[in-house]
Amino acid sequence: MLDKLKPVQFESVMAISKTVEWLREHLETRKDCLLVMDCRAQELYESSHVETAINVAIPSLMLRRLKKGNLSIKSLLSNGEDRERFARRCKTDTIVLYDEYSREWNENVDGGSVLGLLLKRMKDEGYKAFYLEGGFSKFQAEFPAQCETNLDGSFNSSSPTAQVLGLGGLRISSDSSDIESDIDRDPSSATDSDGSPLSNPQPSFPVEILPHLYLGCAKDSTNLDILEEFGIKYILNVTPNLPNMFENAGEFKYKQIPISDHWSQNLSQFFPEAIGFIDEARGQKCGVLVHCLAGISRSVTVTVAYLMQKLNLSMNDAYDIVKMKKSNISPNFNFMGQLLDFERTLGLKSPCDNRVGDPHTTSVLHHPHQPQRLPAGPSGVHVRQRHHHPLTGSEV
């Protein structure tokens, strides 16, 4: 009986690990039943990696969201073919994860690393996941022929993404096509933490974030009934190629920010004019709709930036407010890095008194059809704040 009360632990190191010899043998004989995942920084992966391995490295900024289950594993794979391959085979193939050394793994010590979080998450979800004993360094030393190496060293670790985050362990889609590269490209592609589709991934109306500030998708911007219902007269279009549908009618004021959802794009340069445009609308008590293709990445980034500046909120707090209103948001990692830089520019930190409580203790301007409200905070945000320690997350 007492054994049932003990914390669940893996049976042994061997139960969650594979040797380099095992991996070499399976690469030669059973490659089609094997998924190898490299959890190192991108520049290390680009320099050399186990053959067939796909890179899944994220900055510490996003580890908290992965740990909370707010990111699906599939969403961490920027390459479309890698995502498709993982989605198709993750529940049937043997998955081997490695970092540089991958020595004896301890759940209590290593649970905060990318490899540790992924391994635990995959085990919890029933995947046949293991880590590689000795990691890449041991595998490369013993079996260099099974490694793919970039001999010319041409990988550019000073890419815009690395500069923004100060980390090389971030992979963003290289596809610059607005329709194809955007994770907010298709509302039906939204997934929950296990990668399965959300039952209601996107509301059928724009979401009210603050009084007169609405976050929505391209479809909302073309629906006159919706625009009239919410009193929207200003439309901020955060795409390079979607049309301003009613621009010639004279009833709406438009601003277009020509940004694709791509790691090379500098969205933060447009923050001042976007914030000014939103302020102009709200100052006249007119509704303003911020949209991109489906309201998940670019428009969310602009909305979070607005909350940060106007409400003096940290990036995490502003993000959480928007997340509570629209659960399927997913700005690309580069835009999150730009928001982090914006936080520094504003002189913001993540102090205890800025933490917004969880969805059960925080109410942020419900949709007009959900009128319940709490006493208003700054700029009309109706919140009941609790103070949390910035590291532990516990109340203080």
Question: What pTM was computed for the model?
Answer: 0.48
What DSSP assignment string belongs to 266-277?
-GGGGHHHHHHH
Sheet strands (E) in the chain: 17-18, 34-38, 48-50, 54-55, 94-98, 128-132, 147-149, 207-210, 213-216, 232-237, 253-256, 287-291
Q: Which residues contact 299 (CB under 8 A, 6 or more apart)?
A: 184, 215, 216, 236, 238, 290, 291, 292
Q: Is 225 exposed, middle or buried (0-12, 13-18, 19+ CB in 10 A)?
A: exposed
Give CA–CA dist 363/381, Å, rounded: 8
One CATH from 3.10.180.10, 1.25.40.10, 3.30.950.10, 3.90.190.10 for 207-358: 3.90.190.10
Residue (of 309, 324, 251, 248) closest to 278 by Cα position: 309
Q: Dump strand ranges (E) for 139-252.
A: 147-149, 207-210, 213-216, 232-237
What is the set of active-site residues?
Answer: 292
CATH architecture of structural domain 8-171: 3-Layer(aba) Sandwich (3.40)
Distance CA 345, CA 46 (A): 32
Token pair for residue 266?
Answer: 């500098």
Structure tokens at 141: 């030393």
Domain ranges of the chain: 8-171, 207-358
Q: What is the pLDDT of residues 96-136, one digit of tens each?
A: 999 988 766 555 544 567 888 888 889 888 899 999 999 99
pLDDT tens track of the chain, all 396 residues? 333 333 333 334 446 899 999 999 999 999 899 999 998 877 788 888 999 999 886 765 566 777 777 677 877 776 778 888 898 999 999 999 999 887 665 555 445 678 888 888 898 888 999 999 999 999 999 999 999 987 544 444 333 333 333 333 333 333 333 433 443 344 444 443 334 444 444 556 799 999 999 999 999 999 998 999 999 999 999 999 898 989 888 899 999 999 988 878 999 999 999 999 999 999 999 999 999 987 999 999 999 999 999 999 999 999 999 999 998 898 988 899 999 999 999 998 654 444 444 333 333 333 333 333 333 444 444 443 443 333 333 343
Closest CA to 254 of 226, 221, 224: 221
| Interatomic CA distance for residues 237 and 252, integer angstroms | 12
- Residue with token string 């391994």: 119
Non-local (6+) Cβ contacts of 170 within 8 A are 42, 57, 58, 59, 161, 162, 333, 334, 337
Question: Which residue's structure tokens are 């106007």?
Answer: 310
CA-CA distance, 44 to 60, in Å (whole number)? 17
